[in-house]
Amino acid sequence: MNLLDRLAQLNFQLPDVSRPGGSYQSVNVRGNIAYVTTQFPVWNEEFRFQGKLGDNLTTEDGYKAAALCALNVLAQIEGNVGFKHVEGLNHIDIYYVGDGTWDEAPKVANGASDLFAKVLVDKGKHSRAIFGVAHLPSNFSIGLTASFTLLSE
Amino acid sequence: MNLLDRLAQLNFQLPDVSRPGGSYQSVNVRGNIAYVTTQFPVWNEEFRFQGKLGDNLTTEDGYKAAALCALNVLAQIEGNVGFKHVEGLNHIDIYYVGDGTWDEAPKVANGASDLFAKVLVDKGKHSRAIFGVAHLPSNFSIGLTASFTLLSE
Amino acid sequence: MNLLDRLAQLNFQLPDVSRPGGSYQSVNVRGNIAYVTTQFPVWNEEFRFQGKLGDNLTTEDGYKAAALCALNVLAQIEGNVGFKHVEGLNHIDIYYVGDGTWDEAPKVANGASDLFAKVLVDKGKHSRAIFGVAHLPSNFSIGLTASFTLLSE
């Protein structure tokens, strides 16, 4: 499967790949695992979905935010490793910022899980962690960290 | 070691295995690692230990909650992979929700660490992360994410 | 590269290696990965940088706190595995406790990223996750969890 063809087929577009703002890698490959730095709901250089779920953001906003994080993960993998080297997604950590009573995090996390399942099919199978944090950089409402197993050469 | 015999010997019972509520896997195997989705203190379908440590829940409640999360991790591994394929536990992340001043998280985390050590002995050796989150799905006070290394065939 | 020589060259000193306060390992090796338990800004047995960033602690304090966490990670790896067995750092999770409006977490995380880059060079390349938590054990402002890939024998 070619990732870009698959995305086009489903009418998804990849955002531009962000560059690291410090002495770390957006994607770090060690052995046969590619570790991806936390991705936020950024479209090219535009920051989206900042604030709190249940306050200025709805559950539907959160779903879209998580999907956009997932697209940024795919952009990083395609841009830094090449999806053709990927055996599959391992696990995702999803962080959310809520207003304290909002309790629809699993629905929001499905924004990322559904996208990985739809685009990557079997290679998109993953386990996940979801937890509500106190704060994310730049006031983002959602963040997503992932790792992938690479094909053995 | 047969996991079910070992649990019976120690008078532990495994809860029913929960099914994923979205397009993710409870356990995802890639290469020789099994990644387990966050487990919460659920006994079969009964949600337990909801609330905040230091508020409606004591440190002893938290210890039991962490142990119940650990039993759910074992239930997921046994049900989805089979413990006989496991080389050992890698690392656990423990999330807790406190009242803001409560500071006995390491004692609570021992609820999971002690259970893994007691039941799995050398295969239960693990490193851990513990941090206080703002919120967990369904108002749970504790969540636990784990991964295991599988035996090479 | 000998880690201790390299540290001496750069005028860094390793803190004493802390011992686990429960039935877990400071470093757990499974397959070719070494998983390191969360390290806090502790110098030998002295707890430092407790409190909240933006409140009693500045961004510069946070940078130093993250660097001290990173030194503790290196002390654990050297003391428990031996750095000569390390192929490289994989990924770091950095937790921070802020006052709710403070938003300089990436600068603080650079305290750890810069140290790993400076000391370990290519072996220090890593991806990272950063998120603001509600609380850390002992009121620490920063915590750092890491894993390393080991050289195949």
- Please tell me which chains touch B, using 3 or more CB pairs under 8 Å as the contact test: A, C
Percent of chain A at pLDDT > 90 equals 97
pLDDT of residue B130: 97
pLDDT of residue C106: 97
pLDDT of residue A51: 98
Whether chain B has a CB inside 8 Å of the CB on A132: the answer is yes
Q: How far is B42 from chain C (nearest CA, A)?
A: 23
pTM for this one?
0.98
Whether chain A has a CB inside 8 Å of the CB on B23: the answer is yes
Judge whether residue B153 has pLDDT over 90: no
Judge whether residue A1 has pLDDT over 90: no
Cβ distance of C30 and B105 shorter than 8 Å: no
pLDDT of residue B26: 98
Q: What is the mean pLDDT of residues C6-16?
A: 96
Percent of chain A at pLDDT > 70 equals 99
Judge whether residue B16 has pLDDT over 80: yes
Pull the structure tokens for residue B7. Answer: 């649990």
Chain A and chain B share a number of CB contacts under 8 A equal to: 85
Residue B4's pLDDT band, with cuts at 50, 70 and 90, is: very high
Q: What is the mean pLDDT of residues A82-93?
A: 98
Whether chain B has a CB inside 8 Å of the CB on C143: the answer is yes
Cβ distance of C136 and B132 shorter than 8 Å: yes
Cβ distance of C22 and B133 shorter than 8 Å: no
Amino acid C112 reads A
Pull the structure tokens for residue B27. Answer: 């356990």
pLDDT of residue B106: 97
Amino acid A88 reads G
Q: Tokens 């990272």: give the residue.
A: C128
> Could you say which residues from 89 to 128 on chain A have a Cβ atom under 8 Å away from some Cβ of chain B?
89-93, 96-98, 100, 102-103, 105-106, 109-110, 113-114, 116-117, 125-128
* Closest Cβ–Cβ partner in C109, C127, C134 for A36: C127
Judge whether residue C151 has pLDDT over 90: yes
The per-residue b/e assignment along B93-130, b for 16 or more CB within 10 angstroms, e otherwise, is bbbbbbeeebbbbbbbbbbbbbbbbbbbeebbbbbbbb
Cβ distance of C133 and A133 shorter than 8 Å: yes
Predicted ipTM beyond 0.90: yes
pLDDT of residue B129: 98
pLDDT of residue B22: 93
pLDDT of residue C77: 98
Cα atoms in the Cβ-side hemisphere of radius 13 Å centred on B20: 21
* Closest Cβ–Cβ partner in A25, A93, A135 for C125: A25
Judge whether residue C49 has pLDDT over 90: yes
Residue A139's pLDDT band, with cuts at 50, 70 and 90, is: very high
For residue range C116-142, what is the model confidence (pLDDT) as tens digits? 999 999 999 999 999 999 999 999 999
Q: How far apart are CA B66 and CA B136, in angstroms?
A: 14
Cβ distance of C35 and B98 shorter than 8 Å: no
pLDDT of residue A17: 94
Mean pLDDT of chain A: 97
Mean pLDDT of chain B: 97
Whether chain A has a CB inside 8 Å of the CB on B139: the answer is yes
For residue range C92-115, what is the model confidence (pLDDT) as tens digits? 999 999 999 999 999 999 999 999
Q: How far is C18 from chain B (nearest CA, A)?
A: 13
Judge whether residue C153 has pLDDT over 80: no
For residue range A96-138, what is the model confidence (pLDDT) as tens digits? 999 999 999 999 999 999 999 999 999 999 999 999 999 999 9
Domains of chain C: 3-13+28-150 (3.30.1330.40)
For residue range C73-92, what is the model confidence (pLDDT) as tens digits? 999 999 999 999 999 999 99
Q: What is the mean pLDDT of residues C31-59?
A: 97
Residue C2's pLDDT band, with cuts at 50, 70 and 90, is: very high
Q: How far apart are CA B6 and CA A145, in angstroms?
A: 35
For residue range B46-84, what is the model confidence (pLDDT) as tens digits? 999 999 999 999 999 999 999 999 999 999 999 999 999
pLDDT of residue A117: 98
- What are the chain A neighbours of C89 within 8 Å (beta carbons)? 28, 30
Whether chain A has a CB inside 8 Å of the CB on B56: the answer is no
Q: What is the mean pLDDT of residues A68-74?
A: 98
Whether chain C has a CB inside 8 Å of the CB on A137: the answer is yes
pLDDT of residue A143: 98
Q: How far apart are CA C148 and CA A30, in angstroms?
A: 9
**Residues forming beta bridges with residue C89, ordered by sequence position:** C148
Among chain A residues, the shortest Cα distance to C92 is held by A37
Cβ distance of C28 and B126 shorter than 8 Å: yes
Chain centroid to CA C39: how far?
6
Cβ distance of B133 and C138 shorter than 8 Å: no
